Structure 1
Amino acid sequence: ISEVFVTGLEGHPDQERLQGLTYETIKLRAGQTTTRQALEADLTELYATGWFSDVRITPSDSPLGVRLEVAVVPNPVLEEVVIENEAVLLPASEIEKVFAPDYGNTLNLNQLDQRLKELQDWYNAQGYVLARVTGPIRISPAGLVSLVVQEGIINEVLIEFTNAEGDSVDPEGNPVKGKTRDWVISREVSSLSGSLFNRQLIEEDIRRLYQTGLYKDITMSVKPVIELPGSVDVILKIEESQTGSLSGGIAYSAAQGIYGQVQFGEENLFGKAWKADAKVSYGQYGSQFDISFIDPWIKGDPFRTSMRMNAYYSRNYPAIFRAGPHTKIKLIDNTDEPQSTAEISETSSSVMLSRTGGDISFSRPLNGGNPFQKAAWTLTTGINFQLIDVLDSDLDSKRYGAKEDAASIDQVLCVAYNCSSSNTLTGVRLGAAYNSLDSNTRPTQGDYVSLATSQYISVGENSPTYNKFSASYAHFIPVRLLNFTSGCNPKEGEKEDCPQTIVLSLSAGGALGELPPYDAFCLGGVNSVRGYESCGIGGGKYFSEATVEYRFPIWNILSGEVFFDAGTSLGSQSDVSGNPAGIRNIPESGYSPGIGVIVATPLGPLRLELATEEFDIEKYRFNFGVGFKF
Structure 2
Amino acid sequence: MEIKLLSASYLLQQHGWVLLIPLSVTSSSLLLTFPGWAQTNTSLQAEESLFSSQELTELDTSSLMAAQDQEEHLEAAPHSAISLKNNDLTVPSGNGEVISDIQVRFVNGDGEPIEGNTKDEIITREFDLHSGDVYDSDLALEGLERVDEMFIIKQASLTLEPAADDQVVMVVTVDERDSFFFSFGNTLPRPTALQGPSRPAVVNASSNSARGFSAGARLGFTNIGGNNQALTLGVEGGENTLGVDVDFRQFLKNGSGYGINFANQRGVEPEFTGGDREVETPSGDEPWVHRLGGGVEYFRPLASDFDAALGISYQRISVREDAFSDDIASEDELGNDLTVSDDGQDDLLTVNFSGVIDRRNSSKNPTKGSRLLVGADQSIPIGDADILFTRLSANYTQFLPLNLFGFTEGPRTLVLNVQGGTILGDTPPYDAFSLGGSSSVRGYSSGEIGTGESFVQATAEYRFPMFSFNAFDDDVDVGGTFFFDYASDLGSGDDVIGEPAEARDKPGDGFGYGLGIRALTSIGAVRLEFGINDEGDSEVIFNIGDRF
Q: Taking structure 2 as the reference length, what is the TM-score of the superposition?
A: 0.71
What residue is the counterpart of 2:310 in the other structure?
381
C-alpha distance in structure 1 between counterparts of 2:82 and 2:110, whole Å: 36
Equivalent residues of 1:558, 1:597 under 8 A apart: no
C-alpha distance in structure 2 between counterparts of 1:330 and 1:451, whole Å: 34
Deviation, structure 1 residue 276: 1.8
Deviation, structure 1 residue 482: 5.3
Equivalent residues of 2:185, 2:218 under 8 A apart: no
Q: Does the alignment pair 1:188 with 2:126?
A: yes
Q: Secondary structure at the match of 1:246?
A: strand
Q: Does the alignment pair 1:449 with 2:372?
A: yes
Deviation, structure 1 residue 567: 0.6
Deviation, structure 1 residue 181: 1.5
What residue is the counterpart of 2:261 in the other structure?
310
Deviation, structure 1 residue 247: 4.4
2:226 to 264, 267, 271: 271
C-alpha distance in structure 2 between counterparts of 1:122 and 1:181, whole Å: 29
Equivalent residues in 2 for 1:2-151, closer than 5 Å = 150-151=95-96
Equivalent residues in 2 for 1:580-595, closer than 5 Å = 580-595=500-515
Equivalent residues of 1:515, 1:576 under 8 A apart: yes
Q: Does the alignment pair 1:352 with 2:307?
A: no
C-alpha distance in structure 2 between counterparts of 1:558 and 1:425, whole Å: 47
C-alpha distance in structure 2 between counterparts of 1:570 and 1:130, whole Å: 58
Deviation, structure 1 residue 215: 2.7
1:288 to 240, 243, 249: 243
Q: Does the alignment pair 1:460 with 2:398?
A: no
Deviation, structure 1 residue 574: 1.5
Q: Does the alignment pair 1:503 with 2:439?
A: no
C-alpha distance in structure 2 between counterparts of 1:355 and 1:474, whole Å: 31
C-alpha distance in structure 2 between counterparts of 1:579 and 1:265, whole Å: 41
Equivalent residues in 2 for 1:389-468, closer than 5 Å = 389-393=318-322, 394-402=325-333, 411-468=334-391
Deviation, structure 1 residue 201: 5.7
Q: Does the alignment pair 1:520 with 2:432?
A: yes
What residue is the counterpart of 2:201 in the other structure?
none
Change (3 A) 1:215 1:429: closer
Equivalent residues of 2:107, 2:175 under 8 A apart: yes
- The Cα offsets for residues 433-470 of structure 1, whole Å up to 9 and x where unpaired, read as 43333333333333323332211122122232122211
Q: Secondary structure at the match of 1:208?
A: helix
Q: Does the alignment pair 1:543 with 2:480?
A: no
What residue is the counterpart of 1:629 in the other structure?
547
Equivalent residues of 1:526, 1:625 under 8 A apart: no
Q: Secondary structure at the match of 1:320?
A: helix
C-alpha distance in structure 2 between counterparts of 1:597 and 1:203, whole Å: 41
2:103 to 125, 134, 158: 158
Deviation, structure 1 residue 424: 0.8
Deviation, structure 1 residue 194: 4.4
What residue is the counterpart of 1:320 in the other structure?
271
Change (3 A) 1:179 1:559: farther
What residue is the counterpart of 1:97 in the other structure?
none
Q: Secondary structure at the match of 1:350?
A: coil
Structure of greater Rg: 1
C-alpha distance in structure 2 between counterparts of 1:548 and 1:162, whole Å: 48
Deviation, structure 1 residue 392: 0.8
- The Cα offsets for residues 541-575 of structure 1, whole Å up to 9 and x where unpaired, read as 11000111233455445454432211111111122
- The Cα offsets for residues 261-312 of structure 1, whole Å up to 9 and x where unpaired, read as 3432223222222222102222111201110122333x5xxx6433222111
C-alpha distance in structure 2 between counterparts of 1:224 and 1:484, whole Å: 57
Change (3 A) 1:616 1:206: farther
Which amino acid counterpart does residue 281 of structure 2 have in structure 1?
L
C-alpha distance in structure 2 between counterparts of 1:329 and 1:625, whole Å: 33
Which amino acid counterpart does residue 331 of structure 1 have in structure 2?
T
Change (3 A) 1:625 1:585: farther
Equivalent residues of 1:254, 1:525 under 8 A apart: no
Ranges in structure 1 where 5+ consecutive residues have no aligned partner? 1-118, 132-149, 169-175, 333-346, 368-373, 403-410, 489-497
Q: Secondary structure at the match of 2:455?
A: strand
1:228 to 153, 165, 177: 165
C-alpha distance in structure 1 between counterparts of 2:407 and 2:125, whole Å: 44
Equivalent residues of 1:517, 1:579 under 8 A apart: yes
1:573 to 490, 493, 499: 493
Equivalent residues of 1:130, 1:151 under 8 A apart: no
C-alpha distance in structure 2 between counterparts of 1:125 and 1:352, whole Å: 57
Which amino acid counterpart does residue 473 of structure 1 have in structure 2?
Y
1:475 to 398, 419, 422: 398
Which amino acid counterpart does residue 583 of structure 1 have in structure 2?
A
Deviation, structure 1 residue 387: 0.6
Greater percentage in helix: 1
Equivalent residues of 1:532, 1:621 under 8 A apart: no
- The Cα offsets for residues 84-112 of structure 1, whole Å up to 9 and x where unpaired, read as xxxxxxxxxxxxxxxxxxxxxxxxxxxxx
Equivalent residues of 1:156, 1:233 under 8 A apart: yes
Q: Which is worse superposed, 615-624 or 287-296?
A: 615-624
Q: Secondary structure at the match of 1:348?
A: coil
C-alpha distance in structure 1 between counterparts of 2:332 and 2:100, whole Å: 72
Q: Secondary structure at the match of 2:527?
A: strand
C-alpha distance in structure 1 between counterparts of 2:399 and 2:449, whole Å: 27
Equivalent residues of 2:347, 2:384 under 8 A apart: no
Deviation, structure 1 residue 356: 0.7
C-alpha distance in structure 1 between counterparts of 2:501 and 2:451, whole Å: 5
C-alpha distance in structure 2 between counterparts of 1:216 and 1:461, whole Å: 50
Which amino acid counterpart does residue 398 of structure 2 have in structure 1?
H
Give the percent of matched residue pairs that are identical in Structure 1 and Structure 2.
Answer: 26
Which amino acid counterpart does residue 259 of structure 2 have in structure 1?
R
Q: Does the alignment pair 1:562 with 2:482?
A: yes
Q: Secondary structure at the match of 1:158?
A: strand
Which amino acid counterpart does residue 235 of structure 2 have in structure 1?
V
Change (3 A) 1:520 1:128: closer
Equivalent residues of 1:128, 1:151 under 8 A apart: no
C-alpha distance in structure 1 between counterparts of 2:81 and 2:141, whole Å: 19
Equivalent residues of 2:91, 2:141 under 8 A apart: no
Which amino acid counterpart does residue 567 of structure 1 have in structure 2?
A
What residue is the counterpart of 1:331 in the other structure?
281
Equivalent residues of 1:420, 1:462 under 8 A apart: no
Deviation, structure 1 residue 233: 2.0
What residue is the counterpart of 2:66 in the other structure?
none
Deviation, structure 1 residue 236: 2.6
C-alpha distance in structure 1 between counterparts of 2:108 and 2:80, whole Å: 38
- The Cα offsets for residues 29-84 of structure 1, whole Å up to 9 and x where unpaired, read as xxxxxxxxxxxxxxxxxxxxxxxxxxxxxxxxxxxxxxxxxxxxxxxxxxxxxxxx
Equivalent residues of 1:594, 1:609 under 8 A apart: no
Alpha-carbon RMSD across the aligned residues, in angstroms, is: 3.4
